[in-house]
Amino acid sequence: MGDKPVIGRAVCAAALLAAGLSFASPVQAQSITDRLKGLFGGGSSEEQPAAKSPAEATGEDELTCPPVTVRAGASTYKVAAPGKEAVGNDLKYQVTISKTARECTIQAGQITARIGIQGRVIAGPSGAPPAVQVPIRVAVVAAGVGEKVIATKAYQTTVTMTEDVSVPYVLVAEDLVYPAPVGAEADKYVFYVGFDPQSLKPEPKAKPAKKK
């Protein structure tokens, strides 16, 4: 998880649904905006099946789009007042994940995944700031004994808080690329999503080389 944070394309869920934003496979007539509207607007938090890519439809390559799972222990992000613990009256805000969606396309043996994440920022008793940075990490993992991380990337989105106690957000990670698995190995793959506060911290500056 040492890669630099990448700003994900994200908007408030209310604005996204009003504009009809979402994603879909290029082979389909429905647009990216129509797809996410359907996934996130259906009232279910369950993962939806991914559409087939042009390569899959023609049989040029085999495409498997893994399911999305919220990583245990990383499903809630809580922030406290300075020097305090994120409990009780010292809680400034907490962020949750409520729905996910995904789509995969394949080209030349490389899979590009688009992962949609929807949730809410909830103000705490200590009061949320005017804008909240939401740090999310997406990873594709080969599950099982000796779990193996195939690819991982950090994303951020800024949520503008309003007078409402709870503000929705949507983040779409559109550029997670990894080699297509072969054969039964594809059944082990899963997309993990979760909050990664460490990705908000700047990387330490390199120490200057000592003069000889």
Q: Where are the domains of the chain?
A: 6-195
- Residue 13 — pLDDT band, cuts 50, 70, 90? very low
- Residue 162 — pLDDT band, cuts 50, 70, 90? confident
Q: Model pTM?
A: 0.69
Antiparallel, parallel or unpaired: β 166-179 and 110-123: antiparallel
Per the model's pLDDT, the better-predicted residue between 104 and 201 turns out to be: 104
- Reported as half-sphere exposure (CB side, CA atoms, 13 A), residue 96 has a value of 10
DSSP 101: E
Cβ proximity of 171 and 8 under 8 Å: yes
Per the model's pLDDT, the better-predicted residue between 123 and 47 turns out to be: 123
- Residue 183 — pLDDT band, cuts 50, 70, 90? confident
97 vs 88: CA distance, rounded Å: 21
Which residue, chain included where needed, has tokens 């009003």?
18
- Reported as half-sphere exposure (CB side, CA atoms, 13 A), residue 40 has a value of 34
